[in-house]
Structure 1
Amino acid sequence: MSNRAKALTIAGSDSGGGAGIQADLKTFHQFGVYGMSAITAITAQNTLGVSGVYPLPTEAVAHQIREVLLDLGADAAKTGMLFDAAIIRAVAAELDPYRNIKLVVDPVMIAKGGAKLLRDDAIEALKKDLLPLAEVVTPNLPEAEVLTGMLIRTPEHMREGAKVIHALGARYVMMKGGHLEGDEVLDILYDGQAFYEIAHERIQTRHTHGTGCTFSAALTAELAKGRPLVQAVETANRFIFEAIRTAPELGGGHGPTNHWAAIE
């Protein structure tokens, strides 16, 4: 039996290749992890925005997960765009028997261009059914505001929001501070007792499409390889910084990051 680390992404397809399933699989490959996928929806999009969202039938999503895990298994998994409550409940039901799989929940809600990728009625299902299965949840600040019902505008708000999200059941909460103003980006990791802060320089660029997907995929890959959570977060953070810094500047809108970026 191969000892190659394996990771499963459960997310939407991005026809432009910068986010979603495509970004996840490219990132898994860069980290030396065997990538598998369960597609939740097909989107028609490019760097200028999302022009169409076509969700798959709930059973089709569940069936993909079931077949992958029955045969190939996974060391870690991540969720991205889940679209509606029925898909979220189906994903949770399929993952629940596999508590040994480290689950990263990226609560994708809105595309970079503003298109809604999660229905309003799915928020409660995300909180009730999926977050209790998560090793770590990785919201940006707008997503954290939806999950907590709080206004999050400062590092102290981030810490308070992390406590609220942690109470929903995730073992770790990774609050991404990219939406705060300033020349420095502050991310805050919370384990239920202590806060761990990571600060880095802000890169001024419009080419940031798929940063959340790429970061959470890098984190998932590191967890699949057995890395401790804090170490996995640090590596994923360095990777997404380099991916943004060396973005290939494709397209006329929010271009993708560089999935060939150096891991270290």
Structure 2
Amino acid sequence: MGEFDGLVAAVTGGASGIGLAAAGQLARQGARVACLDLKPDDVPAPLVGVACDVTDDASVTAAVAEVVRRFGRLDVLVNNAGIGAQGTVADNDDDEWHRVFDVNVVGIARVSRAALPHLRQSPSAVIVNTCSVAATAGIPQRALYSASKGAVRALTFAMAADHLEDGIRVNCVHPGTADTPWVGRLLDKAEDPEAERRALEARQPMGRLVSAEEVAQGIVYLASPGAAASTAVELCVDGGMQNLRLRPKS
């Protein structure tokens, strides 16, 4: 018997990286899980892939309706879909700012809005948003991305306040630099990928990137019925990057 037996979860961006890891862990603990993604066809069983573009309200509404049609309910929503951006405030034009916020912030609002009527009917309703250490720590060359994740953090707290009386918990997880396909693509573009990886590893006090599975563990904990007293919680899975200030090694 798993902690999520009888519950249904939807994970956006669930076809790869942190989303796929979270979906897999939820399924192993008993949930029936739908992975909402632009490319859902390769999602492995028992996960169910559902096409969803979080920037399109009609697509979002149809995807959530499909989850409820298949499984009869919705209890857990993991808002994980997101995109990255590099550079200072001078390096991205208005269109890119709007694009990133549309996915990372408004996308959460769209999916949550569509899910709310179903979550209100659940005895174990919870939303977990994938945020980032970039929301709380100044990281060079991440102005746009950091701004979007700061908005996700604030949105998490506002949603937790708004929906407490609905019986819906809302939390977020702050990954550090994670060893995901997106980070892999960034490394591939670097002039010296190996040197760039070493620099990213050194930036985190534990001296390594966090894994998608480790971030997923945090998501699953915050979503679990065992965390029923936890709402408006932000959980760092960042190798100590946010809170540790270690002396340089001599």
Scaled by the length of structure 1, the TM-score of the pair is 0.43
- The structure with the largest helix share of the pair is 2
Structure number with larger C-alpha Rg? 2
